[in-house]
Structures are given as C-alpha cells and as structure tokens.
C-alpha cells in the first residue's frame, strides 16, 4: 500500500502519535507525516505511507491555512494556553483597533519561532535548550502572510483565519499581534484547515481506520502517488526510460526536446510518470522552455531529486 492519507488530527496528540497509530492500524512498513502540528492543534495532517514517504519533503514547501483563536491579555512562555503565564494585562480595546492591527500582519513579515519549538540551534531543537535552562534567542525569519481576516471577537478571544507560507508559527503570530495591541496575547485554539492541496474535506479520523471500516476508508480516501503532487508539470516516459531513471539516469535535453513546452521555469519541479500512470521520479528543471533551443541533446536537463519504485 502506497499513498497519502489525510488525517484529522485530534487535540492532545502529537503528530508522531498519529504516525505511530496509522502504522499500527495499517501494518505499514514506513509511515511519516508532512508538516508537524502541535499537540494543541487539530486538523489536516498529511500522513505518507510506504513509498509516499519519499514525497513528504515536497509537501513541506506548501502554504498552509488555519483557523486560530487568540487569547488577549495573557502572555505565556510557550506562546499558547498550555504554557506558564508570565504576564497578565486587562485588554481594553475597540473592535476596530483589533481588526486593523490583525490586518496589519498581511505581507512579508519577520517572525521569531517560539523557544518551545522544533527549530534547530546547533543541531538541537530549541525546546530542548529551553528545557535545559539555556536561553537561546531564536533568529528572525521572513515568512509571508497571504491573507488574514477576523471571524469573531468575543473579548478576550479573537478568532481569525490566516493563509501563510511554510515555517509560519501561529503561536508567534498571536504573541506578536498581542504585543502590537499592547496587552499581550497567546494562542488559545488552532485548527489547520488546509495544507497545500490537502483540505479538511479530504480528512478522515483515526476511528475511520478501525476494524470493519478500514478497507472502505482506505479505498475511498487514499491519494495515489501520481496524484499527490498535482501542481507539478508531468512528463510521461516509456518503461525503458523509467527503468533507466530508476538506475540513476539523469534525463538530457534530447529526451525532453519534443516535450520542452511542458516544462515549467528554471529551478521548478516536475514529475516523471509512466504511460500507466505510475510516478517514477521528481526532478528539478535546469532550463526554461525557451532556453531548450540553445542546449545540446546530450546536456543534462534536470536533476533527479527522488526516485520511486
């Protein structure tokens, strides 16, 4: 069994817990996830099964969409409601002020990851340094908030939807909004409603994989490897070329000459599939379609990043 299942992660469980449960329920050899969710959070978790684990790195680049509830007036050491309260401030704010401030976080912004996070410092996650009493200041990183809109304000709670780039911490976003409002804030509740092409409408619960429901749930919901990366350009190859790629061949311009119009821009990704629809590999393109006319047939055209059996 190879493919991707979208699990609706319940609150109180780690992403690793879900991977372990799916592996046990399905008896799979290899299971991994694409995009960690904190234990507090619920929602879309892409779980990759067997050969699909080779594709997880490509899902990590995707934009995400969340519905978050922020608690104003409370600052915690973890930036969410599960941490230790470090400051309190009664928020005396108008709704218009809150909406304008939240809207001011759209665009390219700088953000620090929480000190309790898996971001690495000197090869070790920040949360391990923090738990050992070592105060490490996370570096500023650029992230992009594509869209953010306030859904409901019921003081001191503010619920909003946000679409953002990879690497965005909603805990940090809530803390930064709270700081800009002057009262502080932390994340109270979080649900991921979309990760790349995967949405909550695609998600199933762990209970759906229980005995008696398992086969039907898998047949209905598993996403085949060839369909897991729909945004990538597709190059169809014959079985001989597919076998060569699996043995280490890096396709040259001659092989792709008559299909160069199907290629994306330089540095973008494509996938090679067989005529039967089986994915062979994911590769990065060296040249744009326009540049192909200037290249010799024997010149390497792409770099194979992942090969699938």
As annotated, the active-site residues are 38
What whole-number distance in Å separates Cα of residue 172 and Cα of residue 176? 6
Rounded Cα distance between 125 and 263, Å, is 38
**Checking DSSP bridges between strand 198-199 and strand 42-49, what pairing results, if any?**
unpaired
Q: Check if the beta carbon of residue 113 is closer than 8 Å to that of residue 126.
A: yes
Nearest of 198, 214, 156 to residue 21 by alpha carbon: 214
Q: Please name which of 274, 259, 265, 271 lies closest in space to residue 304, comparing C-alpha atoms.
A: 271
Q: Classify the phi-psi angles of 123: left when phi > 0, otherwise alpha if psi is within -120 to 50, otherwise beta.
A: left
CA-CA distances (angstroms) from residue 98 to 103, 162, 191, 308?
9, 15, 21, 49
| CA–CA separation, 128 and 134 (whole Å) | 9
Alpha-carbon distance of 71 to 88, in angstroms, equals 11
């Amino acid at each position: 069994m190879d493919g991707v299942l979208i699990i609706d992660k319940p609150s109180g469980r780690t992403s690793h817990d879900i991977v372990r449960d799916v592996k046990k329920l399905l008896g799979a050899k290899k299971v991994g996830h694409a995009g960690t969710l904190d234990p507090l959070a619920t929602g879309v978790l892409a779980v990759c099964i067997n050969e699909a684990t080779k594709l997880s790195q490509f899902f990590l680049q995707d934009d995400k969409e969340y519905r978050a509830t922020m608690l104003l007036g409370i600052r915690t050491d973890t930036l969410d409601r599960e941490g230790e309260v470090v400051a309190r401030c009664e928020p005396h704010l108008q709704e218009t002020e809150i909406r304008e401030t939240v809207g001011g976080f759209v665009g390219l912004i700088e953000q620090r990851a929480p000190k309790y996070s898996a971001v690495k410092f000197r090869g070790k996650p920040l949360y391990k340094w923090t738990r050992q009493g070592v105060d490490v200041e996370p570096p500023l990183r650029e992230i992009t908030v594509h869209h953010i809109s306030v859904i409901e304000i019921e003081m001191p709670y503010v619920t909003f939807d946000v679409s953002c780039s990879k690497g965005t911490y909603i805990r940090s976003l809530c803390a930064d909004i709270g700081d800009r409002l002057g009262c502080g804030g932390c994340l109270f509740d979080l649900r991921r409603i979309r990760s790349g092409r995967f949405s909550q409408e695609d998600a199933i619960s762990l209970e759906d994989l229980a005995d008696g429901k398992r086969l039907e749930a898998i047949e209905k919901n598993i996403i085949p490897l060839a369909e897991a990366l729909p945004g990538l350009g597709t190059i169809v190859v014959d079985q001989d070329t597919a076998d060569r790629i699996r043995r280490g061949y890096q396709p040259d311009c001659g092989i792709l000459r008559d299909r160069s119009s199907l290629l994306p821009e330089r540095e973008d990704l494509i996938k090679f599939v067989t005529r039967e629809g089986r994915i062979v590999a994911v590769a990065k393109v060296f040249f744009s379609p326009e540049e192909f006319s200037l290249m010799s047939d024997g010149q390497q055209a792409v770099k194979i990043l992942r090969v699938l059996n």
